[in-house]
Amino acid sequence: MSICDLEQHLSLIDFPGRLTVSVADPGAVHPPLHPVEEAAVLRAVSGRRAEFAAGRVAARMALAQMGLPGVSIPMAEDRAPVWPAGTVGSISHTGTACIAITGDSEDYAGLGIDLEDAGSLDISLRREIGTKKELDQISDDHGIAATRLFSLKEAAYKAQYNLSRTVFGFGALELTDGGKCLRFARPVPPFKKGDCLPVLQWNVGDMWLSLCALSASFLHVKS
């Protein structure tokens, strides 16, 4: 699917309020990375560099829509993007498209976006992603369901990481509420066991797009 086709699909999505979304083609020629960004991929292979560069381009375009043109987005030691003060965001890369979403930190405590090529996940990986109960909430075709669940959990993980800075596996989050939320199976401070992260998912051509947007009041509501 071309970037133009992806942008057309995205234009039909009613994203939550005051979020900006942009995409970029990793196969296109983009302006040079900022020096602080270049340092993150000095030893990376060409494919990784292309995806990283397109992701930064998409992120800069999203931030420009917020009135922050041309800013640098360095990579922290934990490899997470470092967003400008007062903003939150998320980036997702594939071999054919990169997408970024940004918002104001007064509105959102964390954002997570994930873009995955549609298709069936290999049976050897499905148990690692989720349980039969989780997969059944998405589709009778567990190969397709596993791909979609992987994307949902990736988006939720990214959103919560902005608050917890904790690395964990797929089993720490359980799909519930008919696929509308991912529940913590154990405490991951500041989240408690049972806290739910809201998730949304759309089919965009031959890809799945997942989003987790945590409002700035999320933890206050949960406390």
Residue 209 falls inside a structural domain: no
Is residue 134, in this structure, part of any structural domain at all?
Answer: yes
Q: For strand 207-215 and strand 200-204, is the pairing parallel, antiparallel, or unpaired?
A: antiparallel
Residue 89 domain-assigned (yes or no): yes
- Gap between the Cα atoms of 22 and 61, Å rounded: 6
Strand partners, 210: 114, 201
Please check whether residues 90 and 149 belong to one and the same domain. Answer: no
- Name the pLDDT band for 43 (thresholds 50, 70, 90): confident
Pairing of strands 20-24, 98-104: antiparallel
Q: Are 69 and 58 in contact, with CB atoms under 8 Å apart?
A: no
Q: Indicate whether 206 belongs to any domain.
A: no
Within a domain: residue 98?
Answer: yes
Domain match, 66 and 99 both: yes
- Answer yes or no: is 158 a known binding residue: yes
Please check if 48 is assigned to a binding site: yes
Q: What is the pLDDT of residues 199-217, one digit of tens each?
A: 999 999 999 999 999 999 8
Q: Which domain holds residue 154?
A: 119-199+215-223
pLDDT for 187: 97
- 57 shares a domain with 81: yes
Residue 219 is which amino acid? L
**Could you tell me if 149 and 129 are in contact, meaning their C-beta atoms sit under 8 angstroms apart?**
yes
Domain count, the chain: 2
Question: Is residue 101 located within the same domain as residue 124?
Answer: no
- What is the pLDDT averaged over residues 51-69? 96
Is residue 188 pLDDT above 90, yes or no? yes
93 assigned to a ligand binding site: yes
- Looking at 106, 140, 156, the residue that finishes a domain is 106
Q: Given a cut of 50, is residue 44 above it in pLDDT?
A: yes
With contact defined as beta carbons under 8 Å apart, do 118 and 208 qualify? yes
Domain termination site, one of 59, 80, 106: 106
The predicted pLDDT at position 222 comes to 54
Contact call for residues 90 and 98 (beta carbons, < 8 A)? no
Q: Which residues of the chain form beta strands (DSSP E)? A: 20-24, 87-93, 98-104, 108-117, 173-176, 181-184, 196-198, 200-204, 207-215
Query: Which phi-psi region, left, alpha or beta, contains residue 119 (left: φ > 0; alpha: ψ -120 to 50)?
Result: left
Mean pLDDT computed over every residue of the chain = 93
The tokens for 95 are: 């071999």
User: Is the pLDDT confidence value at 223 over 60?
Assistant: no
Considering the domain architecture, whether residues 128 and 91 belong to the same structural domain is answered as no
Give the CA distances from residue 41 to residues 8, 22, 33, in Å, rounded to whole numbers and listed in that order.
31, 22, 10
Give a yes or no: residue 27 inside a domain.
Answer: yes
CA distance 10 to 186: 34
In a domain, 38, yes or no: yes
Do 126 and 88 share a structural domain?
A: no
Residues 80 and 174 in one domain: no
On whether both 44 and 95 belong to a single domain, the answer is: yes
87 and 14, same structural domain? yes
What is the average per-residue pLDDT within 184-200?
A: 97
Domain limit, last residue, from 106, 138, 165? 106
The CATH number covering residue 85 comes to: 3.90.470.20
Q: Are 78 and 132 within one domain?
A: no
| Residue 205: inside a domain | no
Report H helices in 23-141: 35-38, 46-65, 123-129, 132-136
Same domain, yes or no: 145 and 219: yes
Same domain flag for 145 and 222: yes
- The pTM (predicted TM-score) of the whole model is 0.94
